[in-house]
Amino acid sequence: MSTKIKIFDTTLRDGEQTPGVSLNIKEKVAIAKQLEILGVDIIEAGFSIASKGDFEAVKAVAESLKSTTVASLARAVKQDIDVAYESVKNAVSPRIHTFIATSDIHMMYKLKMTQHQVLERIKEMVEYSKKYISDIQFSAEDASRSNPLFLYKAYETAIQAGATVLNIPDTVGYSTPEEFGVFVKGIIENVRGIENVDVAVHCHNDLGLAVANTLSAMINGATQLECTINGLGERAGNAALEEIIMSINTRKDLYDYTHNIDTRQLTKTSNLVSTLSGIIVQPNKAIVGKNAFAHESGIHQHGVLAEKSTYEIMTPESVGLLQNDMVLGKHSGRHAFAEKLKEMGYTLTKEEVDETFVKFKEIADKKKQVLTKDIEALLTDKIYMVEEAFVMDSFQISTGNKLISTATLKLIKDSVEITEAATGDGPVDASFNAIERCVGFTMNLEEYKITAVTGGKDALGEVNIRVEANGSHYIGHGVSTDIIEASIKAYLNAANRVYQVMNSKE
Ligand code: KIV
Ligand code: ZN
C-alpha cells in the first residue's frame, strides 16, 4: 500500500533567508495562499521573534489560510515560544516549531552548553510549548553532524515531552544520499516512541544533494519532507519542492508514495515566488526553468514530434505550463471573460472581475489575440500592487541613436501634479531618473528583467526589477504592451514600496 507523505514548505522562513530577499506582509500572504492552492500540508510562515514585521506576517498568514497548518520557528527559549504561539494561535491548525543544535561543534562553540544541558532544555521547552498547543515540532539543528547516540536521546526526550514531529536537518548540506538514508533509518530504529510521531527531514543544498538526500530519507522512513519553492534558502538553498514532487510522480515505479500536491500549480507558484522574491530562476533549472521543456536540437525536436516520450519524461501540462492557446479577443464580453477566469481556477469578487476586465479590454485593443498567459500576467500584476502614493499620469520619451534620451513624466501625489524631466543612458534610464526626481529619493537598480509574456511582436512585456534603498531590497513589477511603460510601472511600483516603508518609520 502507498505511503502518504506530508509536504512542509519553508519558503517563507528558510527561503526568505536567501541573501537579498525581503517579502512584505501582503506578498507573504499571497505566496501562502498560493501554497495552500498547491496543496502543501504545512507552511512555515516565518521566525516570529526575529522582528515585528516577521511576527505580523506570520499572524496574517495564520489568519488567511483555510486548511493548511501554519508553523512559526522558535529557538528553544521561552520568549521565542511565547511569540511564536501568539503569531500562530488563530490558525485553523497552528504549530510551534522549536529547535536547538545537537552537534558537538554547535553545542561547544555556538551554544556553549553541555549535552546534559541541551537535553534538559529540550525537555523544558517542548513541555513549555505543549502548554499552548498540541502540535509541536522539534528540530535537532545540525543533526546530520551530531553523535547518533546523543541524537537518539535528544529525540527520545522530545517525544517524552510531547513533540508530535521530529525533524532531522542536514543544516549545512554535508550529507550524501546513501549516508543520510542510513542515518534516518538508524534514528527510526533506535528512538523509542518514534512510531507515534512524524519524522521530518530538512536538507540544505550545499553539495547540490538536497533533493537526493530528501528522497533517500523518504525511502528510509521519513514521512514529512521539508522544502522550498525554487529551492530558495540560506547559502545554496533548500531542497526544491517541485523537484521532490516531480521525482516521486515520474518515478512511481520506484516510489510508492502519495501526497496532496496539485502539480499543475507548480509553474504558477514558482513564477509567483520568483517575481516576489526577486530571485530569477536559472533557465536550466529542473521542472520550472524556462528551458526545462524546450527541445533545441533538431534530433530531439524530430523525436518529440514523432512521439513525445522519446525525450519527455513528464509533460509540460503536468506542471501547469500553459500553452499559447487563443482565448479571447477585443469583442469578447464580460461574461466570457468571467467564465475564462473560473476555468483558469481563479475565484475573484465581482469588483475584481470588473477591474481586471477593464485592463483586459485595454490590452485587447492593442493585441490581436489575448492568450491565457496574458490574463495570467494581468492577474499577477494585482499582487504587486502597493498603496500607490505616487500614481502615473503620463510620460513622454524622446530617444534615438544620435539623441540624448530624455523622459518627461507626470505623476500625481495627493491630487497634486508633479512633472519632471531627466536625461539618461537610453529611454529606460532616462525614465528612471525622471521618476527619482518626482519622488525625491534615489534607488540603486540591482536587477532588471524583461520578458515577453507570449510570442509575437504585440506580446505583453513584463518587467521585474529589484532595487536597493536605505539598506533594504525591494521588488517592482510592471506589465504593458509597451516595454518602456512596463519599465516605468515597475520602477514606480518599487518607489511606492520604498516610500511606504519610509513613511511607516517616520
Ligand atoms: O537548517 C536548519 O537546521 C534549520 C532548522 C532551524 C530547522 O533551518
Ligand atoms: Zn534550514
| Terminal-residue alpha carbon distance, the chain | 60
265 and 402 in a single domain? The answer is: no
For residue 80 and ligand 1, the question of a CB distance below 6 A is answered with: no
Kindly indicate the confidence band of residue 323, based on its pLDDT and cuts at 50, 70 and 90: low
Amino acid at 295: H
262 and 305 in a single domain? The answer is: no
Q: Please state which of the ranges 187-191, 307-311, 377-381, 445-449 shows the lowest mean pLDDT.
A: 377-381
- What gap in Å lies between CA 156 and CA 187, rounded to an integer? 10
Is the model's pLDDT at 471 over the cut of 60?
yes
307 and 377 in a single domain? The answer is: no
Q: Please state which of the ranges 33-42, 144-153, 315-324 shows the lowest mean pLDDT.
A: 315-324
Render pLDDT for 250-264 as a digit per residue (tens, 0 to 9): 999 999 999 999 999
* CA of residue 138 to ligand 2 center, whole Å: 13
For residue 99 and ligand 1, the question of a CB distance below 6 A is answered with: yes
353 and 456 in a single domain? The answer is: no
pLDDT of residue 1: 85
For residue 141 and ligand 1, the question of a CB distance below 6 A is answered with: yes
What's the sign of the alpha-carbon dihedral 33, 36, 38, 42?
A: positive
Protein residue with its CA nearest to atom 5 in ligand 1: 141
For residue 121 and ligand 1, the question of a CB distance below 6 A is answered with: no
- The residue range of the domain holding 368 is 334-383
Which of the listed residues 11, 18, 167 should we mutate to test ligand 1's pocket, taking the one with most ligand atoms within 8 A of CB? 167
| CB atoms near residue 284 (< 10 Å) | 10
Percent of the chain with pLDDT over 90: 72
Q: Which ligand is nearest to the CA of 139?
A: 1
For residue 44 and ligand 1, the question of a CB distance below 6 A is answered with: no
For residue 233 and ligand 1, the question of a CB distance below 6 A is answered with: no
* CA of residue 35 to ligand 1 center, whole Å: 20
- Quick check: 357 and 336 in contact, CB under 8 A? no
Which of the listed residues 16, 73, 111, 166 should we mutate to test ligand 1's pocket, taking the one with most ligand atoms within 8 A of CB? 73
Q: For residue 143, give the ligand 1 atom closest to its CA.
A: 3
* CA of residue 388 to ligand 1 center, whole Å: 37
258 and 302 in a single domain? The answer is: no
* CA of residue 175 to ligand 1 center, whole Å: 14
230 and 173 in a single domain? The answer is: yes
* CA of residue 36 to ligand 2 center, whole Å: 21
- Quick check: 383 and 272 in contact, CB under 8 A? yes
Render pLDDT for 173-218 as a digit per residue (tens, 0 to 9): 999 999 999 999 999 999 999 999 999 999 999 999 999 999 999 9
300 and 426 in a single domain? The answer is: no
C-alpha cell at 176: 550524501
Question: Would you say residue 469 lies in a domain?
Answer: yes
For residue 238 and ligand 1, the question of a CB distance below 6 A is answered with: no
Q: Which ligand is nearest to the CA of 138?
A: 1
- What gap in Å lies between CA 293 and CA 311, rounded to an integer? 9
Kindly indicate the confidence band of residue 452, based on its pLDDT and cuts at 50, 70 and 90: confident
Question: Would you say residue 490 lies in a domain?
Answer: yes
* CA of residue 143 to ligand 1 center, whole Å: 9
Q: Which ligand is nearest to the CA of 143?
A: 1
For residue 202 and ligand 1, the question of a CB distance below 6 A is answered with: yes
Q: For residue 142, give the ligand 1 atom closest to its CA.
A: 3
CATH of the domain at 260: 3.20.20.70
How many residues are given for the chain?
506
* CA of residue 286 to ligand 1 center, whole Å: 24
* CA of residue 14 to ligand 2 center, whole Å: 6
- Average pLDDT over the chain, rounded to an integer: 93
pLDDT of residue 303: 77
Q: For residue 226, give the ligand 1 atom closest to its CA.
A: 7
* CA of residue 12 to ligand 1 center, whole Å: 13
Which of the listed residues 9, 14, 110, 214 should we mutate to test ligand 1's pocket, taking the one with most ligand atoms within 8 A of CB? 14
Render pLDDT for 159-183 as a digit per residue (tens, 0 to 9): 999 999 999 999 999 999 999 999 9
Q: Which ligand is nearest to the CA of 174?
A: 1
pLDDT of residue 455: 75
261 and 195 in a single domain? The answer is: yes
356 and 496 in a single domain? The answer is: no
- What gap in Å lies between CA 462 and CA 192, rounded to an integer? 55
Q: Kindly give the residue spans of alpha helices, DSSP state H, lying in 367-414.
A: 372-383
Render pLDDT for 20-41 as a digit per residue (tens, 0 to 9): 788 889 889 999 999 999 999 9
Q: Most distant CA pair in the chain: distance in Å?
A: 78
- Quick check: 147 and 104 in contact, CB under 8 A? yes
CATH of the domain at 418: 3.30.160.270
Question: Would you say residue 225 lies in a domain?
Answer: yes
353 and 482 in a single domain? The answer is: no
368 and 438 in a single domain? The answer is: no
For residue 171 and ligand 1, the question of a CB distance below 6 A is answered with: yes
Amino acid at 290: K
Number of compact structural domains in the chain? 4
Protein residue with its CA nearest to atom 2 in ligand 1: 171
308 and 271 in a single domain? The answer is: no
Closest CA to 490 of 457, 446, 455: 446
Closest CA to 132 of 184, 170, 171, 80: 80
Kindly indicate the confidence band of residue 506, based on its pLDDT and cuts at 50, 70 and 90: low
- What gap in Å lies between CA 148 and CA 168, rounded to an integer? 11
* CA of residue 15 to ligand 1 center, whole Å: 11
Render pLDDT for 337-380 as a digit per residue (tens, 0 to 9): 888 888 776 778 898 899 889 888 888 888 877 887 788 888 87
Q: For residue 14, give the ligand 1 atom closest to its CA.
A: 8
Question: Would you say residue 282 lies in a domain?
Answer: no
Q: What is the CA radius of gyration of the chain?
A: 25
Question: Would you say residue 395 lies in a domain?
Answer: yes
Protein residue with its CA nearest to atom 1 in ligand 1: 171
For residue 47 and ligand 1, the question of a CB distance below 6 A is answered with: no
